[in-house]
């Protein structure tokens, strides 16, 4: 059947297949003229220099497997049997538009105002809002303004961060075509891409951006750029009955395809749906903060219930009860927690930006600190993303120069593909071949034939001899010449082909025929995408930091194993189809076996997007924090699903939008800086959270007892300043000299709560001693009795003691060992000192006290001495508990023996599964 492009009347001008072939023939003649030019040596030099300066990505072919493709066909087969001569009729188009809708992805507009309001929702926010209402009811406008200011600050910071991330679905939509040429009512018609319907016959030409998924229905040979989907830039070969995907572009050739899926049902549409699905859950760090806030809120409610019961029993005036309630509400939750952690992570993000790692979502820093497994793409991340030629194999009696000259003659310099580029670049290592190349004259050139798997060129040597040069798949080249080549040479050649294949190389066979002489097989040129020079070192550093790396690649198992072996990743690499993930039919395991298998593997080959998504999900369900690297549209769902999504250098817009962190430097080396920095930031946040929980416990216990026993409390204004000072001083922790852990770090919440509660109790005891000392003489003021004598104003003394001991606590929680083992930064030390001086001035001048009365300097000094004694006790308690395995086991409710046995059984199970998989 003739091609429709020849038999149909064109409404719009376009190149036919015959036109395309004519252009190719013209290009061949031009190439011949170039080669025959006397100055062609200079041209070759220019080409080589240009190629050497390029950072061209490896353009390995994406091998498609129709059984694995993820596009779900929702269109009945009868709707795809459209005539390639007439296309759809206008009536059919209207009916299908009603049935399938327009070729656009579903848009869900987000209400930005409602999104902003959601930042006022959460346990901590609820308590702050309740405190603001109470302050307004008591007409305490200073406290009301401070609380509302903190609420707005936290909400604005969070909203700006989320808004800057942008819409991932919008980025995916940008990759789609704007126009399309379809065959309708017997004529080619240009339409808007959203008007394409299933069953449409679409014309494909050079430069066409495919608007929807489809299948080629005419005889053709296309080279298709799928880099917007896969991140791989090698033009993929497509022939009749092969699938096409929306957002791909045609680099060479022309054909017709039938549309099989539009809008949300396309590959890109499903990627957007998976991204939305992955975005549905709350972040890990948000869950941790909400959990801490919920527990503190429960403690506040319990304390208030006790105070209310005691107050009603005493018939305390309602105004005083509300004042007590406001005081406990303000001190009971860390009102500055969101602001402090946001500042800490923002400072870390600024530092990482200098290291060419752009953080798009601040909470990803906390997640990255705990990441245990990194699922990494191979091409361009672990490898150079460049085709490189290895040491060639030449048959007996053949020189490397002959092989290189023949291979380079069988190449088109006008439309260079990755292989041609690699050969021409390699000429600088073969100067003799480079010099000889320009002396040959090209007579005929035959581009790559997808059937015979070879490229052929007929040239004339300087001596006038006619030579046929062939380059292509090794076994196809061997089949061409095997009748004229001795058997021992064939056997050695075949053995070398198998050896290169086992080592993960992609090989090209080279042969020639001189005049009427027999065919000569010259040898094999192995080519590969070599590992980056820094990848092996990066992987070793990552392992030293406790990070396990699993390689997920679309390449064949052999190539993946060889690359993994070179990088020291381990060779437990398996075909992803064996797991039956993503709807694959090849799985031979089910249930927990699949989970064990994924956990124990070093990586998977021949993976498709759904495989990546499912591998990440399985590891997360096993309790791991998982990072994922990617660069294409197909990686967007798994990047969003991962706890930390990392878009590598050169990623598509959709991948960058879906990622939490974007690397601007090539390769994986930036991950080391990111890991170390994130763990330093985690250490700072962990120290602050322990510190801030202890402060809340401290004041709840002390104020609760004071109110219940003595029916009194601290001045509300001083309570608010205590809360503000606690967070102002520790804002500088973002710049502290924090160490980084040699292993992934997580929120050990049981231990964190245990330490925080005990530190809070020590603080409460110290403050209670201070109060009872002043009450010993039985007067509110006086000059005798107790540790603190001639104390002056009671509220100011308590305010100073609380401020000093609480501010100094951060020096204890920030250290891994004794507080003197690690020196704090000058920023943190300076901030604490300034706040301590201000607190001392409050006491000296009696600011904001219920009864304005100054405190003498002697009493201020004694409070400083007493506070230092309490600080030393807290330091001893923290040091003993922080390194105690027994305390850790106690807080987890199990013995050390039980935990050791659990770890042993889990390890044995993983080893067993790895052994079974090898067998």
Q: What's the confidence (pLDDT) of residue 908?
A: 55
For the CA atoms of the chain, what is the radius of gyration? 36
The mean per-residue pLDDT over the stretch 714-724 comes to: 85
- Residue 658 in tokens: 């879906």
Task: Calculate the average pLDDT of the chain.
Answer: 79
For residues 326 and 329, give the distance between their C-alpha atoms in angstroms, rounded to a whole number: 5
Q: If pLDDT is split at 50, 70 and 90, which confidence band does 787 have? A: low
Handedness of CA 122, 126, 132, 135 (dihedral sign): negative
For residues 870 and 103, give the distance between their C-alpha atoms in angstroms, rounded to a whole number: 70
> What confidence tens digit (pLDDT) does each residue in 4-57 have?
332 333 333 333 333 333 333 333 333 333 333 334 444 555 554 544 444 333
For residues 613 and 68, give the distance between their C-alpha atoms in angstroms, rounded to a whole number: 14
Helix 123-137 vs helix 141-165: crossing angle, to nearest 10: 150
Q: Is 377 a known active-site residue?
A: yes
- Residue 593 in tokens: 């076996």
Which tops the pLDDT comparison, 110 or 354? 354
Q: If pLDDT is split at 50, 70 and 90, which confidence band does 669 have? A: confident
Per-residue CA distances from 240 to 6, 73, 193, 433, 911 (Å)? 17, 18, 23, 39, 46
In 3D, which of 759, 775, 761 has the Cα closest to residue 702?
761
> Is the Cβ–Cβ distance between 177 and 238 less than 8 Å?
no
For residues 730 and 709, give the distance between their C-alpha atoms in angstroms, rounded to a whole number: 32
For residues 149 and 710, give the distance between their C-alpha atoms in angstroms, rounded to a whole number: 33
Question: How many other CB atoms are there within 10 angstroms of residue 108's CB atom?
Answer: 8
Answer yes or no: is pLDDT of 700 > 70.
Answer: yes
pTM above 0.85, yes or no: no
> Is the Cβ–Cβ distance between 517 and 466 less than 8 Å?
no
Residue 538: which H helix or E strand, with range? helix 535-544
Of 362-366, 799-803, 907-911, least confident by mean pLDDT is: 907-911
> Is the Cβ–Cβ distance between 457 and 444 less than 8 Å?
yes
In 3D, which of 583, 648, 571 has the Cα closest to residue 609?
583
For residues 805 and 233, give the distance between their C-alpha atoms in angstroms, rounded to a whole number: 61
> What confidence tens digit (pLDDT) does each residue in 652-666 have?
767 787 888 988 888
Q: What's the confidence (pLDDT) of residue 179?
A: 82
**For 887, phi and psi rounded to 5 degrees?**
-65, -40
Q: Percent of the chain at pLDDT above 70?
A: 80
CATH superfamily of 284-304+329-346+674-706+723-892: Calcium-transporting ATPase, transmembrane domain (1.20.1110.10)
Residue 868: which H helix or E strand, with range? helix 857-882
Q: What's the confidence (pLDDT) of residue 703?
A: 94
In 3D, which of 273, 257, 265, 263 has the Cα closest to residue 216?
257
Helix 363-370 vs helix 337-354: crossing angle, to nearest 10: 70
For residues 472 and 407, give the distance between their C-alpha atoms in angstroms, rounded to a whole number: 9
The mean per-residue pLDDT over the stretch 326-334 comes to: 86
**For 100, phi and psi rounded to 5 degrees?**
-105, -10
Q: If pLDDT is split at 50, 70 and 90, which confidence band does 858 have? A: confident
- Any residues with CB less than 8 A from the CB of 904 and at least 6 apart, and which? none
Q: What's the confidence (pLDDT) of residue 116?
A: 84
The mean per-residue pLDDT over the stretch 443-450 comes to: 82
Answer yes or no: is pLDDT of 249 > 60.
Answer: yes
Q: Percent of the chain at pLDDT above 90?
A: 25
> What confidence tens digit (pLDDT) does each residue in 176-219 have?
447 889 999 989 999 988 899 999 999 998 888 898 999 999 98
Q: If pLDDT is split at 50, 70 and 90, which confidence band does 615 have? A: very high
Answer yes or no: is pLDDT of 109 > 90.
Answer: no
Q: What's the confidence (pLDDT) of residue 375?
A: 93
Per-residue CA distances from 446 to 28, 142, 404, 465 (Å)? 8, 85, 19, 19
DSSP per-residue string spanning 400-431? HHHHHHHHHHTS-SSS--HHHHHHHHHGGG-H
Q: What's the confidence (pLDDT) of residue 108?
A: 59
Answer yes or no: is pLDDT of 93 > 80.
Answer: yes
* Buried b or exposed e, range 129-140, using 16+ CB within 10 angstroms: bbbbebbeebeb
Q: What's the confidence (pLDDT) of residue 372?
A: 94
Which is the catalytic residue, given 140, 225, 377, 602?
Answer: 377
For residues 238 and 219, give the distance between their C-alpha atoms in angstroms, rounded to a whole number: 10
Q: What's the confidence (pLDDT) of residue 121?
A: 82
> Is the Cβ–Cβ distance between 807 and 836 less than 8 Å?
yes
Delimiting residues of CATH 3.40.1110.10 domain(s) in the chain: 388-528
- In total, the chain counts a number of residues equal to 919
What SS3 state is found at 824? coil
Q: Where are the alpha helices (DSSP H) in 138-195?
A: 141-165, 168-174
For residues 462 and 441, give the distance between their C-alpha atoms in angstroms, rounded to a whole number: 8
Residue with tokens 């190149």: 15
CATH for 388-528 is: 3.40.1110.10
The yes or no reply on domain 4-22+75-105+172-276 and CATH 3.40.50.300 is: no
For residues 894 and 14, give the distance between their C-alpha atoms in angstroms, rounded to a whole number: 75
Q: What's the confidence (pLDDT) of residue 834?
A: 93
The mean per-residue pLDDT over the stretch 626-632 comes to: 87
Per-residue CA distances from 840 to 102, 812, 861 (Å)? 70, 22, 9
- Residue 754 in tokens: 């245990």
Delimiting residues of CATH 2.70.150.10 domain(s) in the chain: 4-22+75-105+172-276
Q: What's the confidence (pLDDT) of residue 588?
A: 56
For residues 105 and 274, give the distance between their C-alpha atoms in angstroms, rounded to a whole number: 13
> What confidence tens digit (pLDDT) does each residue in 872-905 have?
999 999 999 888 888 888 887 765 555 565 565 5
> What confidence tens digit (pLDDT) does each residue in 476-528 have?
888 888 777 788 888 888 899 888 877 778 889 999 999 888 888 899 999 88
E-strand ranges in 484-572 read: 506-514, 519-528, 548-552
Q: What's the confidence (pLDDT) of residue 801?
A: 94
Question: How many other CB atoms are there within 10 angstroms of residue 910's CB atom?
Answer: 14
For residues 836 and 842, give the distance between their C-alpha atoms in angstroms, rounded to a whole number: 10
Coarse DSSP helix, strand, coil percentages of the chain, rounded to the nearest 5 percent: 55, 15, 30
Which tops the pLDDT comparison, 919 or 218? 218
> Is the Cβ–Cβ distance between 639 and 630 less than 8 Å?
yes
The mean per-residue pLDDT over the stretch 605-631 comes to: 87
Residue 832: which H helix or E strand, with range? helix 826-845
CATH for 357-385+531-664 is: 3.40.50.1000
> What confidence tens digit (pLDDT) does each residue in 125-176 have?
888 888 889 888 888 887 788 788 878 877 776 676 556 544 444 554 454 4
CA 804 to chain centre: 42
Per-residue CA distances from 347 to 286, 471, 709 (Å)? 19, 56, 45
Q: What's the confidence (pLDDT) of residue 767?
A: 94
Max Cα distance, the chain (Å): 123
Q: If you average pLDDT over each of 264-268, 664-668, 766-770, 787-791, which comes out highest? A: 766-770
DSSP per-residue string spanning 696-740? HHHHHHHHHHHHHHHS----HHHHHHHHHHHHHHHGGGGGS----
Which tops the pLDDT comparison, 587 or 397? 397
In 3D, which of 612, 663, 671 has the Cα closest to residue 638?
612
E-strand ranges in 463-503 read: 466-472
Q: If pLDDT is split at 50, 70 and 90, which confidence band does 68 have? A: very low
Per-residue CA distances from 912 to 623, 905, 909, 916 (Å)? 20, 11, 5, 6
């Amino acid at each position: 059947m003739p091609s429709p492009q020849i038999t149909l009347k064109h409404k719009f001008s376009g190149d036919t297949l015959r036109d395309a072939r004519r252009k190719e023939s013209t290009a061949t003649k031009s190439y011949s003229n170039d080669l025959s030019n006397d100055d062609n040596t200079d041209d070759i030099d220019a080409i080589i220099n240009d190629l050497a300066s390029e950072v061209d990505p490896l353009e390995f072919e994406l091998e498609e497997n129709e059984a694995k493709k993820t596009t779900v066909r929702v269109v009945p087969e009868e709707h795809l049997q459209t005539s390639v001569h007439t296309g759809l009729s206008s009536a059919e188009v209207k009916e299908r538009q009603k049935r399938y809708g327009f070729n656009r992805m579903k848009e869900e507009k987000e209400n930005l105002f409602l999104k902003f309001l959601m930042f006022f929702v959460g346990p901590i926010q609820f308590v702050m809002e309740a405190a603001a209402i109470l302050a307004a009811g008591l007409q305490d406008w200073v406290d009301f303004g401070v609380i509302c200011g903190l609420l707005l600050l936290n909400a604005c910071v969070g909203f700006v961060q989320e808004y800057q991330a942008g819409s991932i679905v919008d980025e995916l939509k940008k990759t789609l075509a704007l126009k399309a040429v379809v065959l309708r009512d017997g004529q080619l018609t240009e339409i808007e891409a959203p008007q394409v319907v299933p069953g449409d016959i679409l014309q494909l030409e050079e430069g066409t951006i495919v608007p929807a998924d489809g299948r080629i229905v005419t005889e053709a040979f296309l080279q298709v750029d799928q880099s917007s989907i896969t991140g791989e830039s090698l033009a993929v070969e497509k022939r009749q009955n092969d699938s096409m995907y929306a957002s791909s572009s045609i680099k060479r050739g022309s054909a017709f395809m039938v549309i099989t899926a539009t809008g949300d049902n396309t590959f890109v549409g499903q990627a957007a749906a998976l991204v939305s699905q992955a975005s549905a859950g709350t972040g890990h760090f948000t869950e941790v903060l909400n959990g801490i806030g919920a527990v503190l809120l429960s403690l506040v409610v319990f304390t208030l219930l006790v105070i209310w019961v005691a107050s009603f029993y005493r018939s305390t005036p309602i105004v005083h009860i509300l004042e007590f309630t406001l005081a406990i509400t303000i001190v009971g939750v860390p009102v500055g927690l969101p602001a402090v952690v946001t500042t800490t992570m923002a400072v870390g993000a600024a530092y990482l930006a200098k290291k060419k790692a752009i953080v798009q979502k601040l909470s990803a820093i906390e997640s990255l600190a705990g990441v245990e497994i990194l699922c990494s793409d191979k091409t361009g991340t672990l490898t150079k993303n460049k085709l490189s030629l290895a040491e060639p194999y030449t048959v007996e009696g053949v020189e490397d120069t002959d092989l290189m000259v023949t291979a380079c003659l069988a190449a088109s310099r006008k439309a260079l593909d990755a292989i041609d580029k690699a050969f021409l670049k390699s000429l600088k290592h073969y100067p003799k071949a480079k010099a000889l190349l320009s002396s040959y004259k090209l007579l005929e050139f035959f581009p790559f034939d997808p059937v015979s798997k070879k490229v052929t060129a007929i040239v004339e040597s300087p001596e006038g001899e006619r030579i046929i040069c062939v380059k292509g798949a090794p076994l196809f080249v061997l089949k061409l010449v095997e009748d004229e080549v001795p058997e021992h040479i064939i056997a050695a050649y075949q053995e070398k082909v198998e050896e290169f294949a086992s080592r993960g190389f992609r090989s090209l066979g080279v042969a020639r025929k001189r005049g009427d002489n027999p065919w000569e097989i010259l040898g094999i040129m192995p080519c590969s995408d070599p590992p980056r020079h820094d990848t092996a070192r990066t992987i070793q550093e990552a392992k030293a930091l406790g990070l396990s790396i699993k390689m997920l690649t679309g390449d064949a198992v052999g190539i993946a194993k060889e690359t993994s072996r070179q990088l020291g990743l381990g060779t437990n690499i398996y075909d992803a189809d064996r797991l039956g993930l993503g709807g694959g039919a090849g799985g031979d395991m089910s249930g927990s076996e699949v989970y064990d298998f994924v956990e124990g593997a070093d990586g998977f080959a021949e993976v498709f997007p759904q495989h990546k998504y499912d591998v990440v999900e399985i590891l997360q369900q096993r309790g791991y924090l998982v990072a994922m690297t990617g660069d294409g549209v197909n990686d967007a769902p798994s990047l969003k699903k991962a706890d930390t999504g990392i878009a590598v250098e050169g990623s598509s817009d959709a991948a960058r939008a879906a990622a939490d962190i974007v690397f601007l430097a090539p390769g994986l080396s930036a991950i080391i800086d990111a890991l170390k920095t994130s763990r330093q930031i985690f250490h700072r946040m962990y120290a602050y959270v322990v510190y801030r929980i202890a402060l809340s416990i401290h004041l709840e216990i002390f104020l609760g007892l004071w109110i219940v026993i003595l029916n009194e409390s601290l001045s509300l204004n001083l309570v608010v300043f205590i809360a503000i000072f606690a967070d102002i001083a520790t804002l500088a922790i973002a710049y502290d000299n924090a160490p980084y852990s040699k292993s992934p770090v997580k929120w050990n919440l049981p231990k964190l709560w245990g330490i925080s509660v005990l530190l809070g109790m020590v603080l409460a005891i110290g403050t209670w001693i201070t109060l009872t000392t002043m009450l010993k003489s039985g007067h509110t003021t006086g000059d005798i009795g107790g540790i603190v004598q001639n104390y002056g104003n009671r509220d100011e003394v308590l305010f100073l003691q609380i401020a000093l001991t609480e501010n100094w606590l951060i020096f204890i929680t920030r250290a891994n060992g004794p507080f003197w083992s690690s020196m704090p930064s000058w920023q943190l030390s300076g901030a604490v000192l300034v706040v301590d001086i201000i607190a001392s001035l409050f006491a000296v001048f009696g600011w904001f006290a219920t009864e304005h009365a100054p405190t003498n300097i002697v009493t201020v000094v004694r409070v400083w001495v007493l506070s230092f004694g309490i600080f030393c006790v807290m330091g001893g308690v923290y040091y003993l508990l922080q390194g105690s395995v027994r305390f850790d086991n106690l807080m987890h409710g199990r013995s050390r023996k039980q935990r050791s046995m659990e770890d042993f059984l889990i390890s044995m199970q993983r080893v067993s599964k790895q052994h079974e998989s090898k067998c």
